[in-house]
Chain A
């Protein structure tokens, strides 16, 4: 096998892995928006917070696996707290109240991580099992990237099962169209929504943990990756999981191959793609017209 082919393969894997993480974050954002109608501007901050929790759990226990279990759950609990005691209070004010509030939460989290963890880059090492390359066919693939892809698919499968096979999922799908009627059937809708918010933040949390060993943990993480998640959601169509999935993968590939061929221009490719899609379809690829 020649060098070029193996380089392409490696870039493709990198791109898909990055796309998968983007998808985890964007899917969380989409779940919250699609089901509760809340555009959670703190989503990127929650993602970053999970990366910091991951750092601390690894520092305390020495185990990345423990961090993968604990950090997203801790982050989700913070999210649930924010929903229960803050977002719920401003919901009568409509979207503007939620935007301002979640933006404030994002700033609080950013200030909080600088206060508790400082501003320097904190490294997290990949667990030994996931280090190195695996040899498949004639090509070498980095194990950790493959792990990222598999993990994202597992989370996606769990979400699909939750949404289509459980009572909670049915309640949520019914509440999307008519939350008042669901309430009138004896279902505590605010409690369900609190749980949904927690799940959305948990997904961002998984994204934060898996990306931590690659990018290191620093306070710019929320802006750098969180903003991509928003772009993914807008380009794919607000509330559409399918759109988020497709656009995430495209973005991942654009960014990895973009870096290969255009270097500094890679971020421009992504924004350009968004502009192109939105010029043709203002509601995103799979967005529904209001």
Chain B
């Protein structure tokens, strides 16, 4: 297992937002974490990343117990974070946004095709190349999403936590983002995807977790979910 989350309990003040949550992601897998609003999907990603500290439970990544590590340490261990609000740096250019994603500021010199560099990012995101010198704040929503994904890829993560990447995007752009995620996964990066667009999520993922309030209600393959009307009704339909 690349990531093993076990019995995680997270609180916001006195509200118990994750109650004994467990999930696993294997090497190279793309796993979707689905459910209605306010169930704790984003909090799950933040707890893994160290942006909120879980009260108990463990997060083991690539054999290391990273529970409660500062976000920068989790990032250095090999986890990339693409937040819901994209959170690109508005005053920095596209190039500089990507630059800050590089761990330690240096790209390794060898021409290993698995290493992410500007060239490879621009191959995946041609629209970023055209806007390389523009400030982040002048990008469209879709472009910001691409930049946010590209920025975390510059750190060569083994696992990418992606939160609602297609939210608020035009249908054409949704398709673009979907394809990019598929490509990245094919290139060997494992992905934990939180996504509202069921069609997108199920077309990408091999396995699915459905969240009820603060816990995992269903875990299984996409095929198993398709056969399970009860789980779909209980956790997905509004």
Q: Are B49 and A184 in contact (CB under 8 A)?
A: yes
Choice from B70, B92, B96, B100 contacting A185 with Cβ under 8 Å: B100
A176 to B151, CA, bound (A): 18
**Max chain B Cβ within 10 angstroms of own Cβ: one of A174, A180, A188, A189:** A174
Q: Tell whether A242 is near chain B: CB-to-CB under 8 Å.
A: no
In this assembly, does B76 line the interface, its C-beta being within 8 Å of a C-beta of chain A? yes
Interface contact B71-A178, CB-CB below 8 Å:
no
The contact size tier of chain B is 20 to 34
Cβ distance A70 to chain B, nearest Cβ, rounded Å: 30
- A187, B100: Cβ atoms closer than 8 Å: yes
Inter-chain contacts of A173 with B (CB < 8 A): 89, 91-92
Residues 76 to 114 of chain B near chain A (Cβ within 8 Å): 76, 81, 83, 87, 89-92, 96-97, 99-101, 103, 105
B51: CB under 8 A from chain A? Answer: yes
CA distance A66 to B98 in the complex (A): 41
Q: Does A186 lie at the interface of the complex (its beta carbon under 8 Å from any beta carbon of B)?
A: yes
Q: Is the CB of B75 within 8 A of A170?
A: no
**Chain A nearest CB: distance from B90 CB in Å?**
6
CA distance A185 to B78 in the complex (A): 10
Interface residues of B: mostly helix, strand, loop or mixed? helix
Q: Is the CB of B96 within 8 A of A184?
A: no
Contact of B76 among A170, A177, A186 (CB under 8 A): A186
Contact A167 B99 (CB under 8 A): yes
Whether the pair A184, B71 counts as a contact (CB closer than 8 A) is yes
User: Is B89 in contact with A178, judged by CB distance below 8 angstroms?
Assistant: yes
> Which residues of chain A (181-220) have a CB below 8 Å from chain B?
181-189
Chain A, interface size category, equals: 10 to 19
A-B contact count (CB 8 A): 60
Contacts of A188 in B (CB 8 A): 70, 72
Give the contacting residue for A189; candidates B51, B72, B96; CB below 8 A: B72
Is A174's CB under 8 angstroms from B100's CB? yes
A171 interfacial contact with B, CB 8 Å: yes
Give Cα distance in the complex from A167 to B103, angstroms. Answer: 11
Q: Assess whether B152 is interfacial by the CB under 8 Å rule.
A: yes
Q: Is the CB of A184 within 8 A of B75?
A: yes
Looking at chain A's contact residues, is the secondary structure mostly helix, strand, loop, or mixed? helix
- Chain B residues within 8 Å of A171, by CB: 100
B155 at the interface (CB under 8 A from A): yes
Docked CA distance A178–B86 (Å): 11
A186 close to B155 (CB less than 8 A): yes
A184 to B76, CA, bound (A): 9
Q: Is the CB of A185 within 8 A of B152?
A: yes
User: Which residues of the partner chain B approach A178 to less than 8 Å between Cβ atoms?
Assistant: 87, 89
Complex CA–CA separation, A188 to B75 (angstroms): 10
Q: Are B151 and A185 in contact (CB under 8 A)?
A: yes
Give min CB distance, A179 to chain B, whole Å. 10
Cross-chain contact B72 with A177 (CB below 8 angstroms): no
Q: Tell me if A185 and B51 are in contact (CB < 8 A).
A: no
Inter-chain contact B101/A185, CB cutoff 8 Å: yes
Contact A170 B99 (CB under 8 A): yes
Using known A-B contacts A181-B87, A185-B75, A188-B72, determine if residue A170 contacts B92 with beta carbons closer than 8 Å: yes
Q: Across the interface, which residues of A come within 8 angstroms of B76, CB to CB? A: 186
Q: How far is the CB of A221 from chain B (nearest CB, A)?
A: 36
Docked CA distance A156–B89 (Å): 25
B136 to chain A, nearest CB (A): 9
Interface string of B189-201 (1 = CB under 8 A from A): 0000000000000
Residue with the greatest number of chain B CB neighbours at <10 A, chosen from A182, A184, A189: A184
Chain A residues with Cβ under 8 A from B100's Cβ?
167, 170-171, 174, 182, 185, 187
Residues of B within 8 A of A181 (CB): 83, 87, 89
| B96-A170 in contact (CB<8A) | yes
For window 263-287 of chain A, which residues contact chain B by CB distance below 8 Å?
A: none
CB distance from B27 to the nearest CB of A (A): 21
Which residues of chain A come closer than 8 Å to B103, judged between CB atoms?
Answer: 186
Complex CA–CA separation, A185 to B148 (angstroms): 11
* Cα of A182 to Cα of B96 in the assembled complex, Å: 12
Q: Which residues of B are in contact with A by a Cβ distance under 8 Å? A: 49, 51, 70-72, 74-76, 81, 83, 87, 89-92, 96-97, 99-101, 103, 105, 151-152, 155
14 residue pairs bridging A and B, Cβ less than 8 Å apart: A167-B99, A167-B105, A173-B91, A174-B92, A174-B97, A174-B100, A176-B91, A182-B89, A183-B70, A183-B75, A184-B49, A185-B75, A185-B155, A186-B72
Given A170-B99, A171-B100, A185-B101, 12 extra CB contacts under 8 A: A167-B99, A170-B96, A174-B89, A180-B71, A183-B71, A183-B72, A184-B74, A184-B81, A186-B75, A186-B76, A187-B100, A189-B72
